[in-house]
Structure 1
């Protein structure tokens, strides 16, 4: 097999072994009011049995699809940092045993403020973690309580200080906007406090009211006082302007970074590249198939005892893969390149497949064509950036 250069896969993409690994730890200290992720309050959960099952899935996964060098690891949840230091060491040791993680690979772990004491940070560093993404969400304590977070703003600051003392330099925080009763002034204040931390990366997400959450039940009853649409638009515009002025490049619709600190693992998804996905409810994509694992903790443990813990697997058609390529790729502000489309799809041209859609989006001023020859491609316009969901959905 021809070896890929950098993170670029060879053609055909379906024959490429993943270079990225996602692992799901589904435990949390509590369930936030907006959260529909596959997560469970950790108290009373069989955490050690889950780690046993996770290692069994690792063993079966590498037997079925032997890994080459892993360049990007992301441990998400849930809150992976609810593991004790001993559990953290055990878990990270199992990753190292089964997957050849390259020196210099990006190894990210999600964390909630207040769950990363020095002993845990030491275990994370020793196990190869070199990037932490903290779920700060807001620096307004009233808003934090209103969305079900149990940390306060000071916990974010202390957690960042602890991480830096432990030797972590690649740090990110998530902020949310469009929260119930949130004002533009409150958002501006949170952004200023976030920028005072001088981090290399910020992720900024608008609230989505998802089914099977407390917020969805309140919304259905008309009891969720969300900001008006024009206020939410103003919030997003302020985020873009303020972070740009502070020297951060917006490289994706919700992500801002200093040069060289863009999330490499998330780039796997945005470029529609394959990845291993392990753990309860995890998704994976490899050899032209997408899978989703069994979600429940005990159900996952039971399934992993007898085989790969799959809930469902389906073959991705070429058309579906093309649609995915355009939808996720256009989230990147650099857009999608024709050369990458041709490489993934055996020489096919995006304009031959999506010519009408591309033309319509250009007419609407939401997309623009850039470059010539191999460097040509499409990207969101300034008008299109805040209307990205309309653009992405047009390719279905």
Structure 2
């Protein structure tokens, strides 16, 4: 039995936390998506705003206004919300938490939702980073993915965002798609790097059971993806971006120097974060918990909750979480789980992790705790020690999840 790791004496350390805001609305739901998102519920936008700001206020009172280093609007399609909503949410966050002038504030956007005035209003509201869901620059593949934009609109959106005052911009792309070819991928990647976005994320398609795309592949309407080809696509993109001066800092993420996503680094470094909104997940203190997923039920819970019952707390407990109106489930993160997660999250970073430094932070000797696993994976050529840092080898990048399972259970 491991001793309790040293995770700080307060719920949120003085260094602060990250804030995730879930926006569940979509104009249309993509056929590959299994996230907690909904189309056709625009009528709930106003009551959602009321419930969300109420949740933010409640957490500000409970946690006594901790420092927030980053805010991330995810979804769903946050850009589907009126920019006035975004401004109101950030005002609520700013009055409930210590939101610094240098905080990273990201909003995910669909290319078709961006125009010059919208971008200017986002900047005025405080947004300083944009993540555009491009996914592909091939119109045929965009059609398969059910996207609302075409390739020209995607490239135009990037320029519009820049003209509107947003210079820190991530572009999301997907590979390993049905019917996707290497020439298509090469063309997409070459066009993408020529635009010099500050950040690029590449995700291999995962067919999620219950989604239309999964059904189409299972029934033969679309072919299975070629996993060997997907691996070649990943390596091609990695080589191209290295040539173009991008830093490969996490398995699926590249950036120009100094433009790492600070919000996601919080996750990979296993630091505290608070999620608000329907279905949003949080990790604070020794608990992981998540909100009611149904937007309608989330809103009703806010309406039923009695205000002024959120005195500050010094320790997060089951009883405290049960009193928070939108929390639906909670789980205690035992020391074994915390250490395992610290290992495999840290190993997602290309620089790996300084085991001695991280061990001091968590209060447990991770090199000793995982000596057998580290030795076995090193012999298999999947881990390597470079100076004080333990990291994945290049061949392990595409099978990282298989490596990570060695640290769990």
TM-score band w.r.t. shorter chain:
over 0.9
> Is the deviation greater in 357-366 or in 205-214?
205-214
Give the match for residue 117 of structure 1.
115
SS of corresponding position for 1:312: strand
User: How much does 1:136 deviate?
Assistant: 0.2
Matches within 5 A, 1:12-31: 12-13=7-8, 15-17=10-12, 18-31=16-29
In structure 1, the residue matched to 2:371 is 355
| SS of aligned partner of 1:114 | helix
Are 1:322 and 2:339 an aligned pair?
A: yes
The alpha-carbon deviation at position 295 of structure 1 amounts to: 0.6
Structure 1 residue 217 displacement after superposition: 2.1
Which residue in 1 is equivalent to 2:205? 207
Name the CA distance, whole Å, in 1 between partners of 2:213 and 2:76: 18
What CA distance in whole angstroms lies between the structure 1 residues aligned with 2:353 and 2:74?
Answer: 27
Would the aligned equivalents of 2:112 and 2:148 in 1 still touch at CA under 8 Å?
no
Alpha-carbon shift at residue 161 of structure 1 (Å): 1.2
1:353-395 deviation line (CA, Å, top 9, x unaligned): 1111111100100001122xxxx23101122122212111221
Deviation at 1:321, TM superposition (A): 0.5
Q: Is the 8 A contact 1:209 1:216 kept in 2?
A: yes
1:337 aligns with 2:332: no
Mapped partners of 2:274, 2:356: distance in 1: 25
Question: Does the aligned pair in 2 maintain the 1:171–1:200 contact within 8 Å?
Answer: yes
Distance 1:349 1:302, change over 3 A: same
* TM-score, normalised via structure 1 length: 0.93
Residues 134-191 of structure 1: CA deviation (Å, up to 9, x unaligned): 0000000110011111111111112111111111110110010001110111111110
1:382 and 2:394 matched: yes
Give distance in 1, aligned partners of 2:70 and 2:98: 11
In 1, distance between residues paired with 2:196 and 2:139? Answer: 21
- Name 2:237's counterpart in structure 1: 239
Under a length normalisation based on structure 2, what TM-score does the superposition of the two structures give? 0.90
CA contact (8 A) 1:182 1:226 kept: no
Structure 1 contact 68–100 (Cα < 8 Å) conserved? yes
Structure 1 residues 163 and 137: alpha-carbon distance in aligned structure 2, compared to 1, 3 A threshold: same
Contact 1:178-1:226 at 8 Å conserved across structures: no
CA distance in 2, matches of 1:147, 1:128: 31
Corresponding pairs, count? 382
Two-structure CA RMSD over aligned residues (Å): 1.6
